[in-house]
Structure 1
Amino acid sequence: MTPAARLSAAIEVIETIETQRIPAAQALKEWGTAHRFAGSGDRAAIAGLTWDVLRRRASSAFLMDDDSARARVLGMLKLERGLDGAAVAALCDGSRFAPQPLSEAERQALDSRTLNDAPAHVAGDYPEWLDGELAAVFGDDRVAEAAAMASRAPLDLRVNTLRGKREKVQAQLSHLHAQPTPWSPLGLRIELGADARNPGVQAEEVFIKGAIEVQDEGSQLAALLTAAKPGEQVIDLCAGAGGKTLALAAMMQGKGRLIASDADKRQLAPIHERLSRAGVHNAEIRAPKGEADPLADIRGSADLVVIDAPCTGTGTWRRNPDAKWRMRPGALEIRLAAQQAVLERAAPMVKPGGRIAYITCSVLASENNAQVQGFLARHPEFTVVPPAEVAAALWDKAEAFLAAALVSPEGLMMTPRRTGTDGFFVSVLKKTG
């Protein structure tokens, strides 16, 4: 397919998403099924265009003064891909499979309109109802922070130290141009171009042998900041598919007791195979059975309870830009209630001197700082471990990390703009009595 034909296909996919109100991944899959002639490179390029339109959905429509699928695609080409009016016109020449030529209004918009007078939520490409939430955290920087959250994310890998060392794994992945991550001592990063396909790392020998896992650097850092140690009793309370569980197991070096659980046992389905592949032998999986609490016996004995809390996922918008436009205020309220409930569940599990690591992949204060404040008000026996002490887990990079992250009395927050990671909040709470 020509670049112009790919552009036409992207317009078609965006129209499908908006008219049928279906997730982008589903629309892309259905398009591929109906157009089997398109090769893998074509499908990757069309997906890249589609995701970029969703990243710049509000700003591209504002730029073009038109909220149609075609206008959003054209505006994205200028805002995200850096094409000028002439370059866009060259793609839209009306030839076979190409979009129709630009109208005079479209030419003028591409040549003269800017985002200088756009409202914050438009320039930052996020739902208007979240403007107050983001302003409370970032103030006048919210447009720049949100714009960074709308950028394309790299592919980050975590080296499993139970199976290998970063230097050796990097050499084995040299054909993918993997480079060490800036902060995590365990991470490797593969930068991806606008039309690049995600490399099939699951087919790599180092993945099959358990030496690497796909995990954003921010998630790696969140696990490191828990400071899980060999010999401790560690509870991963919201383990899900096991991403943090695997990282914790490597930190514990196979020593101690690691219990992974989740309120939804379906989320735990992949964890067994992942633990086996990673060479983890000290992890116990406890899935809920009926009304019985699978962790009822954990009372005042845990050194560390890790809460990878259910949240809105605002910190992962650059990986899933579709989600931010489908998010509604009611979803936030549900998450807030779930977060409070899991914090209350964790409190009695911790022994004196033990700690809770509260983690979200959200940048919203209501899910982060406010939840910690509320927990401390209900549980005066806990105190916040100072962020500088928490960051010490990053060794020689602690000082630089503290300067980059957003530090508050309640904890640390990473963002794409500040740390080059997904957005993560980490608060470590110590039980003093």
Structure 2
Amino acid sequence: MTPAARLSAAIEVIEAIDNQRVPAAKALKEWGTAHRFAGSGDRAAVSGLVYDMLRRQASSAWIMDDDTPRGRLFGMLRLERGMDTDAIASLCDGSRFAPGPLTDGERQALTSRSLLDAPAHVAGDYPEWLDPYLIEAFGDDRAAETAAMARRAPLDLRVNTLKAKREKVLGSLRHLGVTATPWSPFGLRIMLGADARNPGIQAEEEFVKGAVEVQDEGSQIAALLSGAKPGEQVIDLCAGAGGKTLTLAAMMQGRGRLIATDRDKRQLAPIHERLSRAGVHNAEVRTPKWEAEPLSDIRESADLVLIDAPCTGTGTWRRNPDAKWRMRPGALDIRLKDQAEALDRAVAFVKPGGRIAYVTCSVLPQENGEQILKFIDRHSDFRVIPPSQTASVLWDKTDDFLAAVYLSDEGLLMTPRRTGTDGFFVSVMRRQG
């Protein structure tokens, strides 16, 4: 497919998303099925155009003064891809498979309009109803913070220190352009261009033998800040597919007891194969059965309970731009209830002197600091460990990291703009006694 044909295909997919109200992944899959002649490079390019438009949907419509699939896509090419009017016009000559020529209005918009007078929710590309929540989170910086959340994320990897050292994997994956992440001591990063396909990490020998896993650097740091140590009893209460479980296992160096569970047993399905590939031998997976508590035999004996809490995912908008436009106000209320239940459930398992590490991939205060304040009000025997102490696991980078994040009495918040990671909130609390 020519670049112009890819542009027409992206417009077609965006029209399907709008008209059928389907997720972007579904629309792209259906387009690929109907256009089997398109090669993998074509599909990746069309996907990149669609997702970049979703990242910049509001600002792209604003810049074009046109909230149509065509208008939003052209606005994205200007804002995200940095293409000028002539470059965009060259793709729209009206020839076979190409979009129709630019109108005078489109040329005028591409040439003269800017985001200087755009409201924050447009400049930052987020739903307008979220503005009061983001004012509470970031104040006047909300447009800058959310604009950073509207850019394409890199691909981050975590070196499994049970099997390899970062220096060795840096060498063996050099052909993928990997570099060391700035904060995590076992992170690797692959920067991705606009049309780049995600490299086939799963086919790499280092992945097959369990030396690396795909994991955002912020997620790696969140697990690190929990302070899991060899010999401890650690519970991953909302383990899901096991990303943080694997990080905890590496931190524990194969010593101690690691238990992974999740209310949704479907989420646990991939964890068994991942633990095996990673060479983890001190972990057990507790799959829930009906309404019974899978941890009923554990009573105030855990050194650490990690809660990777169900949340709105606002911190992952770089990777899931479709999600921010599909998010509805009621979703926040549901997540707040889920988080409070997970926190209260964890209390029964933590021994005196033990810790709860509460993590969300959200930037909304209601899911973060406000949840912690309410929890401590319900459970007065818990105290927040100051972030300056939990961040000491980053060694010589502690001071720089603490200067970069948002700090509060309840924990710390990483953001794409401040730390180059996804948005993660972390609070570690110790039980008194």
Query: Which residue matches 1:414?
Result: 414
- Alignment of 1:266 onto 2:266: yes
Amino acid at match of 2:386: P
Q: How does 1:156-195 map to 2 (within 5 A)?
A: 156-195=156-195
Moved over 2 A (4+): none
Amino acid at match of 1:264: D
Amino acid at match of 1:75: G
In structure 2, C-alpha distance between the alignment counterparts of 1:371 and 1:329, rounded to whole Å? 17
Could you tell me the percent identity over the aligned residues?
A: 75
Q: How does 1:344-423 map to 2 (within 5 A)?
A: 344-423=344-423
Query: Which residue matches 2:129?
Result: 129
Query: Which residue matches 2:109?
Result: 109
User: What's the CA shift for 1:123?
Assistant: 0.8
Amino acid at match of 1:314: T
Query: Which residue matches 1:95?
Result: 95
In structure 1, C-alpha distance between the alignment counterparts of 2:295 and 2:387, rounded to whole Å? 29
Deviations 1:118-156 (A, max 9, x none): 111011000111101111010010001000001000000
Amino acid at match of 2:6: R
For structure 1, which segment, 305-314 or 25-34, has the greater mean C-alpha deviation from structure 2 after superposition?
25-34
In structure 2, C-alpha distance between the alignment counterparts of 1:378 and 1:154, rounded to whole Å? 40
* 3-state SS of 2:370 partner: helix
Amino acid at match of 1:128: E
- Alignment of 1:311 onto 2:328: no
Amino acid at match of 2:93: D
Q: How does 1:5-404 map to 2 (within 5 A)?
A: 5-404=5-404
Question: Structure 2: which 5+ runs fail to align?
Answer: none
In structure 2, C-alpha distance between the alignment counterparts of 1:129 and 1:372, rounded to whole Å? 24
* 3-state SS of 1:94 partner: coil
User: What's the CA shift for 1:117?
Assistant: 1.3
User: What's the CA shift for 1:170?
Assistant: 1.1
User: What's the CA shift for 1:210?
Assistant: 0.3
TM-score, structure 2 as length reference: 0.99
Deviations 1:225-271 (A, max 9, x none): 00100000000000000000000000000000000000011111110
* 3-state SS of 1:163 partner: coil
Question: Structure 1: which 5+ runs fail to align?
Answer: none
* 3-state SS of 1:266 partner: coil
* 3-state SS of 2:348 partner: helix
Deviations 1:267-304 (A, max 9, x none): 11110110000000000110111121111121111100
User: What's the CA shift for 1:179?
Assistant: 0.6
User: What's the CA shift for 1:10?
Assistant: 0.6
* 3-state SS of 1:145 partner: helix
* 3-state SS of 1:276 partner: helix
Deviations 1:40-79 (A, max 9, x none): 1111111100000000111111111111100000100111
Q: C-alpha root-mean-square deviation of aligned residues, in Å?
A: 0.6
In structure 2, C-alpha distance between the alignment counterparts of 1:5 and 1:213, rounded to whole Å? 35
User: What's the CA shift for 1:347?
Assistant: 1.1
User: What's the CA shift for 1:2?
Assistant: 1.1
In structure 1, C-alpha distance between the alignment counterparts of 2:248 and 2:361, rounded to whole Å? 17
Deviations 1:327-369 (A, max 9, x none): 0000110000000000000012111110000000000000001
User: What's the CA shift for 1:17?
Assistant: 0.5
Amino acid at match of 1:23: P
In structure 2, C-alpha distance between the alignment counterparts of 1:49 and 1:280, rounded to whole Å? 39
Amino acid at match of 1:280: V
In structure 2, C-alpha distance between the alignment counterparts of 1:113 and 1:205, rounded to whole Å? 49
In structure 1, C-alpha distance between the alignment counterparts of 2:164 and 2:18, rounded to whole Å? 46
* 3-state SS of 1:267 partner: coil
* 3-state SS of 1:265 partner: coil
Amino acid at match of 2:261: S
In structure 1, C-alpha distance between the alignment counterparts of 2:119 and 2:217, rounded to whole Å? 31
Query: How many pairs were matched up?
Result: 433
In structure 2, C-alpha distance between the alignment counterparts of 1:273 and 1:38, rounded to whole Å? 33
Amino acid at match of 1:373: L
Amino acid at match of 2:395: W
Amino acid at match of 2:207: F
User: What's the CA shift for 1:430?
Assistant: 0.5
